[in-house]
Amino acid sequence: MIRTLQCVLTAAIILTLVPVAMATGKNGPIAKIDIRVIYAVKNKVKSVAPELEDIKGELEELPFSKFRLLDKLEARVAEQSAVELQFPGQRSIAVRFRGLRTSRGKKMISLQLTIKPALKIRLRVADGGRTLLLGPSHLEGNLILDISAKLEEKKK
């Protein structure tokens, strides 16, 4: 378990950035967070579920051979607020939107993820970007979290 927690694969994969007008809530901007929960195992047969085709190349670089989508979690989070989401294995993940930063002219969404009970991670995801994280063990394999974050557009 500790080895899994230390193996937090943070290959920050930044996709194309699109300028987005920010929606503001009571506490500031609102981020739309999408998390795909992926089950990964080491197996003789290599396979990637069709729902994960968009990240197939990245998944194939990991030390697993079989990838299946278990769940898709979505949430809207106001700045300095948090939401708690349930995912497989009777686990939950708390996502806190800590604020916006600018790095090299790009808007970065600062998040804090807490997978209960033992893992707390702070990360930055480019607005419209995504990151893969190796999560806790699950059954005979591991969970991988594909985390996307995007500032919501203002509604006209």
- The predicted model scores a pTM of 0.76
Q: Look at residue 101 in the predicted model and tell me its pLDDT.
A: 85
Distances (CA, A) of 147 to 1, 55, 113, 125, 144: 21, 12, 10, 8, 9
Least confident range from 21-35, 44-58, 61-75: namely: 21-35
> Residue 49 pLDDT > 90, yes or no?
yes
Asked whether residue 95 carries a pLDDT value surpassing 60, the answer given is yes
What pLDDT score does 36 carry? Answer: 95
* Predicted confidence (pLDDT) at residue 19 exceeds the cutoff of 50: no
In the predicted model, what is the mean pLDDT of the chain?
Answer: 79
pLDDT at 116: 78
Contact indicator for 66, 41 with CB cutoff of 8 Å: yes
Q: Of 4, 6, 18, whose CA–CA distance to 148 is shortest?
A: 18
**pLDDT band per the 50, 70, 90 thresholds, residue 117:** low
Question: pLDDT at residue 24 above 70?
Answer: no
Average pLDDT over every residue of 48-68: 94
Residue 19: cis peptide before it, omega within 30 degrees of 0: no
The pLDDT of residue 32: 95
